[in-house]
Structure 1
Amino acid sequence: MKKHKGFLNQIPILNKDKEVIKIKKLALGIGILLFAILFKLCSSGLDIVSLIIGVIGLGFGIGGFMSKSD
């Protein structure tokens, strides 16, 4: 088993490229969702914008979770 160098160096990686991409998609989705929550707390009257940002983040999160790894 190889370990990925960098931020996620504690996770053993069997198929490094596909797993790292999957983890990056999940992290991006979570980051966008957190940004949407922060934007919602800091803005007033821009509900539709925060909803769109949240849906995009949710899409990345689900896409990263559901991506195929052969």
Structure 2
Amino acid sequence: MENRFFGSIAYVEDAKVDLVPVCPEEVDRVRGIVKGIIDEITKGKIPARPGKQCERCDYFQLCRYR
């Protein structure tokens, strides 16, 4: 059986969410992008940029950059 993947589109004004099919190749492509970003962060190549948005972060109380 083939793996099936779905994404979602949220329509804020209508308070509606629709599922949309996503092909396995697209899932693999996005996984590669995310892995690359995680690797860059782990290596310290993407610096922290503290700002007003930090107040909404789940890790705000633990962050060494705040």
TM-score range, shorter chain: 0.3 to 0.5
Normalized against structure 2, the TM-score is what?
A: 0.36
Select the structure that is richer in helix: 1
Structure with larger RCO (C-alpha < 8 A, sep 6+): 1
Max Rg structure? 2
Select the structure that is richer in strand: 2
